[in-house]
C-alpha cells in the first residue's frame, strides 16, 4: 500500500493505492472526470492470469478523458492491514482508524478477528463437459438431479456446467 498526495481537485488529503494505475489516476492529472462507476458482481468477469488462475475485478470506472476503462481491485494489501492493526494496538479506537483511513469499523473488526487475508481458491470441475453435452443429447428431458446422479455430483454442479456449455433449460421447437 502506497500513500501519496493527490491532485488538487481530489476530495481527500491523502491517497492510498495498491497498483501503479490506481496511483496515476489520483496523483496525476490523467483523470479529470468519471462518467461511469460500476460495481461488478462477484466472479462476473474472470480474467486469466499467470499460472492458470483467474482474477475477478470488484469495480470499474470510465473517465471522460482519456477514453480508457480502468478497473481496480478493492482488496487492501497485507501491509495496510497490519499498519491499521498496529495502530489499534497502540490505543487508537476503531472509529478513529475508520475515519483516518476511510474504511469501515466492521472492516477493522474483521481484520482483527482474521488478520490473514482469505485466499480464494477456484475448484476445477469434475464434470467432463463433452460427456455432459452428450448426456444432454442422449437424455434431453432428464432432470438436473438425474444428471447429477449419473455424474456423481450435485445439482448445482450440473447447473454450472450447463451454463459453461451455454445450454439452457428452455425447450426449442
142 domain residue, yes or no: yes
pLDDT at 10: 66
Q: What is the mean pLDDT of residues 115-120?
A: 71
Looking at the fold, whether 61 and 83 belong to one and the same domain comes out as: no
Q: Is the pLDDT confidence value at 116 over 90?
A: no
pLDDT at residue 70, rounded to an integer: 47
Cα dihedral 91, 97, 101, 107 sign? positive
Q: Please check whether residue 24 lies inside any domain of the structure.
A: yes
Q: Which domain holds residue 26?
A: 2-72
Same domain, 9 and 63: yes
Taking phi over 0 as left and psi of -120 to 50 as alpha, with beta for the rest, 43 belongs to left
Q: Indicate the burial class of 84 (C-beta count within 10 angstroms; 0-12, 13-18, 19 or more).
A: buried
Position 172 in a domain: no
Per-residue pLDDT tens for 14-72? 766 656 666 666 666 556 677 777 778 888 888 776 666 777 777 777 766 654 444 55
Which pLDDT value is given to residue 28?
62
In a domain, 37, yes or no: yes
Are 83 and 139 found together in one domain? Answer: no
Arithmetic mean of pLDDT, 120-140:
83
Compute the chain's Rg from CA coordinates. Answer: 23
Number of structural domains, the chain? 3
pTM of the model: 0.33
| All three cell numbers of 22 | 490506481
Q: What whole-number percentage of the chain has pLDDT above 70? A: 65
Q: Are residues 96 and 67 in the same domain?
A: no
Is the per-residue pLDDT at 131 higher than 90? Answer: yes
Amino acid at each position: 500500500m502506497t500513500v501519496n498526495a493527490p491532485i488538487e481537485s481530489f476530495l481527500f488529503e491523502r491517497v492510498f493505492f495498491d497498483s501503479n494505475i490506481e496511483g496515476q489516476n489520483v496523483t496525476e492529472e490523467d483523470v479529470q472526470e468519471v462518467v461511469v462507476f460500476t460495481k461488478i458482481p462477484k466472479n462476473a468477469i474472470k480474467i486469466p492470469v499467470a499460472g492458470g488462475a483467474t482474477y475477478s475485478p470488484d469495480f470499474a470506472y470510465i473517465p471522460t478523458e482519456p477514453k480508457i476503462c480502468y478497473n481496480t481491485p478493492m482488496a487492501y494489501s497485507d501491509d495496510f492491514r497490519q499498519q491499521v492493526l498496529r495502530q489499534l494496538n497502540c490505543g487508537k479506537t476503531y472509529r478513529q482508524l475508520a475515519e483516518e483511513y476511510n474504511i469501515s469499523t466492521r472492516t477493522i473488526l474483521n481484520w482483527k478477528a482474521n488478520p490473514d487475508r482469505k485466499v480464494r481458491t477456484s475448484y476445477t470441475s469434475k464434470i467432463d463437459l463433452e460427456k455432459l453435452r452428450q448426456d444432454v443429447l442422449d437424455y434431453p428431458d432428464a432432470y438436473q438431479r438425474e444428471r447429477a446422479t449419473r455424474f456423481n455430483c450435485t445439482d448445482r454442479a450440473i447447473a454450472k456446467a450447463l451454463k459453461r456449455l451455454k445450454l439452457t433449460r428452455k425447450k426449442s421447437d
